[in-house]
Structure formats: structure tokens, C-alpha cells
């Protein structure tokens, strides 16, 4: 179930990150508290959310550099 909630979060975060915090979107995704969300996210993705999104941004930048 938490894997589904993490997937739901990942679908909505890029669309709403300008308007909502990670914690608010996590709660909207069905997590009752921040600790449960962070533990589930790390279990599913191997990183905490902030580190995960930093890694994804870096990968996107590097991909852009390779295509340029």
C-alpha cells in the first residue's frame, strides 16, 4: 500500500510542488504522518525525498549537457 502511495506522491509532486510542500502532498497521498511517509519513500526509492529530487534534477541536467 505504501508503494502505491509513494507512486501517487511522485505523480503529483512535480505538478504541485510550486503550491504545496512535500509534507502536504504526502498527506494528500494518504500518509498519516511525515515519519511514515519518509520511511516508505526511502524504502521504495532508496533515498529521502529531497535527495531523490536533487538526484533527478542532476540527472536531468547531465542528460541535457550530453544532448547539447
Which pLDDT tens digit goes with each residue over 25-53? 888 889 999 999 999 999 999 999 889 98
The tens digit of pLDDT for each residue in 1-22 reads: 889 999 988 888 776 777 888 8
Query: Cα dist. 31→1, 9, 56, 64, 67 in Å?
Result: 10, 10, 23, 34, 38
Cβ-based neighbours of 17, under 8 Å, separated by 6 or more: 25
What's the pTM value of the predicted model, to 2 decimals?
0.75
Q: What is the pLDDT of residue 66?
A: 64
Amino acid at each position: 500500500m505504501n508503494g502505491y502511495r509513494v507512486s501517487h506522491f511522485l505523480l503529483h509532486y512535480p505538478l504541485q510542488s510550486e503550491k504545496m510542500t512535500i509534507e502536504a502532498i504526502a498527506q494528500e497521498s494518504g500518509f498519516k504522518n511525515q515519519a511514515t511517509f519518509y520511511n516508505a519513500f526511502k524504502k521504495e526509492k532508496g533515498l529521502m525525498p529531497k535527495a531523490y529530487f536533487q538526484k533527478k534534477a542532476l540527472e536531468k541536467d547531465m542528460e541535457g549537457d550530453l544532448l547539447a
